[in-house]
Structure 1
Amino acid sequence: MSESWDDLRIFLAVARGESLSAAGRVLRMDPATVGRRIARLEQGLGAALFVKSQQGYALSEPGERMLRHAEAAEQALSLAMEAVRGGAEGLSGQVRIGAPDGCANFLLPQVCAAIADENPDLEVQIVALPRVVNLSRREADMAIAVSAPTAGRLMVQKITDYRLHFAASEDYLARNAPIRAVNDLNGHRIAGYIPDMIFDKELDYLGELGLTRVPLASNSVSVQFNWVRQGAGLGIVHDFALPTAPGLRRVLTDVVSLKRSFYLVRHTDDRRHERMNRFAKALVDGMRVELARLEAFCQNV
């Protein structure tokens, strides 16, 4: 048997992507080549690692056992590389963060840019997804979440609270009836989430307020924000996003003020990774400082 780390790397990519094409994109290899390598690995082991179907590649029972050892080997290699590089000179290599798109668009870019400025050999990737990031499939090295997961082998750290309010453009407010109470919202066009695509109960802002009709709906916070910014309607907006749109004004601040939290979610096995620990600390510290700065800025909006 002559399996190498390269074989395990390909196996992990297929296991996480659940298809040859998804693995090929990650590995930058032709899917047919990936398939041949998996077939050769299975032949060498004398066991089928995947159950193949039209839906893709699912791990077989031997594949599940293989996965645990392959991930352990991956972690050992990463730790060895960290030890060789040394940890005092600065962060290097690639770190991928998954985050809901409000956080990914309005908070993470400047925080991660500051970390990258201090660590020129570091590559930071932000994956903005309107759903929960799957860390077990290694979609990211760590994730920002709006509720703390309770299942899986994960480390969860609360980062900070943040606030949201109704907001509308000055132009929209000048053209439409005054908004002095929640009941006044019935006569206005509201932007919000597509109700059946809300992936976390913490994001059901309008449902919490008893507003079931959403004339302008999207699964993207950025789309909702741009509708509001362009005067198409009003909607629930993150306070930390308001400084990017000077023409927006908060409304009903004495009546509707929502508080939510951000959590950092990581693989439990990563607790021994000095590089990931250092990056996580810089990320959490930076998010706390930047969010406080942005929310203080918009108090008079």
Structure 2
Amino acid sequence: MQETAFSRLNWDDCRLFLAAARAGQILAAARTLGLNQATLSRRIAGLEHDLGAKLLVRRTHGSELTDAGAALVEALERVEAELLASQAHLQGADAAVSGVVRVGAPDGFGVGFLASRLARLAARHPDLTVQLVPTPRGFSLSRREADIAVMVGRPEAGRLVARRLTDYTLGLYASRGYADANGLPESLAGLSEHRLVGYVEDLVAAPALNYAQEFLRSWRSSVEITSAIGQLAAVRAGAGIGVLHDYLAADEADLIPVLPGARAMRSYWTAMHENLRDVGRVRAVSDFLGEIVREAQRDFVIAADGPAHGR
């Protein structure tokens, strides 16, 4: 039988190429894989030689897939999906949950809610390692920046398994010290006469995160912070009035609601790549997220009939 380029493919080389394609940068992929950058480049070059096709184009700030590279990534992800599904089937439902699962989440949910509950998950699955990456930006599941992503709003269509985790509300808050010194507005329009705390507008990761505009169209912040936890700290310290997540702020003794009839509402969704849906460790973490959110459901949504209420 005549030997073809595909018959000579080394799966380990393919795995390394897939990691580089997902990282978008040879150096970043090498660090993740624990390899020398030169070694990874050489292995990818060998794969390109075996296939007779250029897979990656090196740029100053990263690498781009060629058409051949994109086609190979798609094929390799199908193979990877089959391997993961076979592994899950062979291990069975009674297999121990072990390995690493990376969860990407907005910092409000990740730091303010999830982090304090991870000890419970660790006690349940001692061989499981959970990497929590709380940032305000989105995560690329196709590039494996996270195994599970918690997102604000339903994720865009793709090869994803998505689930609505919970609705949550946001309201206006101020510190008791700020209220004593400056008073509080009697209407939403009166917010313009106060110091306001909000996001850095040109760094808002998604339109859904621009909560402040629902309360006051002409909202202008005196203090701008890209982190929900940072905004909470600033408002607590008396920096001004801010739009805060109710599940983070409602029980803060130093904070008081401002115009409590006015609220905004959003939704958290979880998403994972369809290749991971049957992987035991990923499923265990996904189920845990649903469990702890159901237990705390009453904290996530505060009913209101005010004008600043929308999805």
User: What TM-score do you get using the length of structure 1 for normalisation?
Assistant: 0.90
Aligned to 1:206: 212
Query: Is the 1:107–1:291 Cα contact (8 Å) retained in structure 2?
Result: no
Which of 234, 237, 241 in structure 2 is aligned with 1:234?
Answer: 241
Shift of 1:90: 4.2
User: Is 1:290 matched up with 2:296?
Assistant: yes
Query: Is the 2:112–2:229 Cα contact (8 Å) retained in structure 1?
Result: no
Task: Note the alpha carbon deviations across 1:252-285, whole angstroms, 9 max, x for none.
Answer: 102x112211111121233333443343222112
Which of 109, 112, 125 in structure 2 is aligned with 1:106?
Answer: 112
Partners of 1:126 and 1:247 lie apart in 2 by 28
Query: Is the 1:91–1:279 Cα contact (8 Å) retained in structure 2?
Result: no
Deviating 4+ runs (over 6 angstroms): none
Cα gap change, 1:30 to 1:244, in 2 (>3 Å): farther
Aligned to 2:155: 149
Mean Cα deviation higher: 96-105 or 208-217: 208-217
Shift of 1:288: 2.4
Query: Is the 2:169–2:263 Cα contact (8 Å) retained in structure 1?
Result: yes
CA RMSD of aligned residues (A): 2.1
Aligned to 2:282: 276
> Equivalent residues in 2 for 1:17-32 (5 A)?
17-32=23-38
User: Is 1:252 matched up with 2:259?
Assistant: yes
Query: Is the 1:87–1:275 Cα contact (8 Å) retained in structure 2?
Result: no
Query: Is the 2:151–2:270 Cα contact (8 Å) retained in structure 1?
Result: yes
Q: Which amino acid aligns with 1:93?
A: G
Partners of 2:297 and 2:113 lie apart in 1 by 7
User: Is 1:178 matched up with 2:176?
Assistant: no
Aligned to 1:299: none
Which of 220, 225, 231 in structure 1 is aligned with 2:232?
Answer: 225
The total of aligned residue pairs comes to 295
Query: Is the 1:92–1:119 Cα contact (8 Å) retained in structure 2?
Result: yes
Task: Note the alpha carbon deviations across 1:187-243, whole angstroms, 9 max, x for none.
Answer: 211111111222222211111221331111122212211111111112011111126
Which of 53, 76, 79 in structure 1 is aligned with 2:82?
Answer: 76
Partners of 1:212 and 1:169 lie apart in 2 by 19
Partners of 1:178 and 1:164 lie apart in 2 by 18
Query: Is the 2:178–2:240 Cα contact (8 Å) retained in structure 1?
Result: yes
Aligned to 2:307: none
Q: Which amino acid aligns with 2:240?
A: G
For structure 1, list consecutive stretches of 5 or more residues without a partner in the other structure.
Answer: 297-301
Partners of 2:293 and 2:131 lie apart in 1 by 16
